[in-house]
Structure 1
C-alpha cells in the first residue's frame, strides 16, 4: 500500500504514474485523521486549562497519540476534575514517581510540535519507575483520592513492611564475615537460596516481595545515586524564577531550550 492522506484524485494520478500501474484501481484510498489541538503549554499540571477555568483536557487534543498516552491523561484529568469539585488538593505526579508524571510534565512545560509518544528514554529516573514497584509507588495516591479501598491499602502497607524487614535482616546477618545483603548482591544469588540456607533467620516472603528485596539489594548503589539526583532535582524544582526573566541572556543555553523556556 501507499502511505498517504492526499485527495483521492491525486492518489490515483500518483499510483498510475508508476510503470505497470497505468490502469490500476485503488480498492481503499489512503486517509489521514485530523483533530482539534490545544497547545498543552496552555494547561496546568492538573490538565485544567489556564484560559478556561474548570475545563480539563486529555488525549489527542493535547498533542499526544490516542493510545496509552491519552488514557493516562484521562486518569489525571478525571481525578483532578473530581477533586476540584470537592475542593480538595490536586493530584499531580512528579517525574520521579511515574511515567504519567513525565508525560504531563513534558506536555505542560515543554509543549510538543508533533504527536507525543511516551518512551522510557524520556524518564530520567526510570530505574525507580519499574513495573514491579508500581503498586508501592502509586497505590497510596489511589487510596488518597478514593480509588483504592481500605483493605487493599492495608495489604500494600503490609507488603512494604515485609520488604523493609527482609532488607534489614539481610544487612544484620553475617556469613563468614560477609553480610547476607552483600551475598544477595551477587548476580547468581537469590533470596530463596539464602532462605533455604539460613532458615528461620530470614522471614518467609511472597515471590513478589522476594523479587523486590533482590532488586533493592542488587541495584542498591544505582538506586542510592538516583535518589540523590531526585532530591537535588526537587530542590531546584522548588526554586522560584520571576516571570519576566529573559532566558535569551543565558548564552550557554541551546537555542531550542531557550525558546521553550521563554514560552513556559
Structure 2
C-alpha cells in the first residue's frame, strides 16, 4: 500500500516503506522520535530520501547505483549497521540484540588476535590486506583461528580488506555534509564532468543552480550525480589555488 501511494514498483521497495511506516506509526503513538535512516546507513534511507526530495515521474525502483555510499551498504554488515537502530526503535528483541553483541565481541577479539600475531616481519592484519591472501593462509600461521566461526571470519576478512576504502568513503560523507551549501560558479561547465549522466548535464545546464544545495533538489538529479559535481568543483578550486600560488 505504501509503495502504491508513493509511486514505487517492486515488492522489496513496498516492503521497506511499509516497515518504516509501521515503525514510525507505533513510535508516534508512543510519543517517541521517528526512525529515520540516512543515505549512508541503508538502502531504505536512499529510497525514502529520493522519494521525499526528488519525487517520481515514473515508477521508482531501488537500484544500488542510486546510492553514492555503496561500500558502506554491504550485505555482510547489514546486521551491524541496522540492528542498533532497530533496537533503539523497539524493533529488536533481547535475544537478537544479544546475538549481535556476541558476534561483535568475537569479531573484535579476532581482529585483536590478528593485530598481535606475526607472520615473519608483518602482523596477520597487514598480511590479510594483501589481495591474494585468504583466511586459510592465516590459519597456517595461527592454528587457533580454526576456532573462529565462518560467519565471523568472513566479516573480519571484509573489514580488514575494505578498511582503507571505507575510511575514504567516511571522509567523503563528512565532506559532502560540509559542502551541502557550497556555491557553484555561473560559468561552471557540467559537460566537462566525466561519468555524469546526460540527463543530469542537461538539467543542471538548463537550471543553472547557484549552490550545491539547490542543485541537489532538482528533480532527477541523484546524490551520485552531486558527488561527481562536488568532486569536479573541488578539483577546480584546488587547481585555481595552485595556479595562484605559482
**Residues 260/124 of structure 1: CA separation in 2 closer, same or farther (3 Å cut):** closer
Q: Deviations over 1:167-223 (max 9, x none)?
A: 2322232222112112112233222431343124x5832111100111111122211
Find out whether 1:77 has 2:21 as its counterpart: yes
Q: Which is helix-richer, 1 or 2?
A: 2
Q: CA deviation at 1:83?
A: 0.5
**Residues 257/183 of structure 1: CA separation in 2 closer, same or farther (3 Å cut):** farther
Find out whether 1:93 has 2:41 as its counterpart: no
Find out whether 1:214 has 2:157 as its counterpart: yes
Whole-Å separation in 1 of the counterparts to 2:206 and 2:148: 53
Q: Is the 8 A contact 1:166 1:203 kept in 2?
A: no
Q: Deviations over 1:15-55 (max 9, x none)?
A: xxxxxxxxxxxxxxxxxxxxxxxxxxxxxxxxxxxxxxxxx
Q: Is the 8 A contact 2:10 2:61 kept in 1?
A: no
Cα RMSD of the aligned pairs, angstroms, is 2.7
Q: Is the 8 A contact 2:54 2:218 kept in 1?
A: no
Runs of 5+ in structure 2 lacking a partner?
189-203, 210-214, 220-246
- Alignment-derived partner of residue 148 in structure 1: 92
Find out whether 1:133 has 2:84 as its counterpart: no
Q: CA deviation at 1:165?
A: 2.4
Runs of 5+ in structure 1 lacking a partner?
1-56, 242-246
Whole-Å separation in 2 of the counterparts to 1:195 and 1:209: 14
Q: CA deviation at 1:108?
A: 0.5
- Alignment-derived partner of residue 106 in structure 1: 50
Find out whether 1:64 has 2:20 as its counterpart: no
Whole-Å separation in 1 of the counterparts to 2:67 and 2:127: 31
- Alignment-derived partner of residue 226 in structure 1: 169
Q: CA deviation at 1:132?
A: 1.1
Whole-Å separation in 1 of the counterparts to 2:216 and 2:126: 46
Q: Which of the two has higher C-alpha Rg?
A: 1
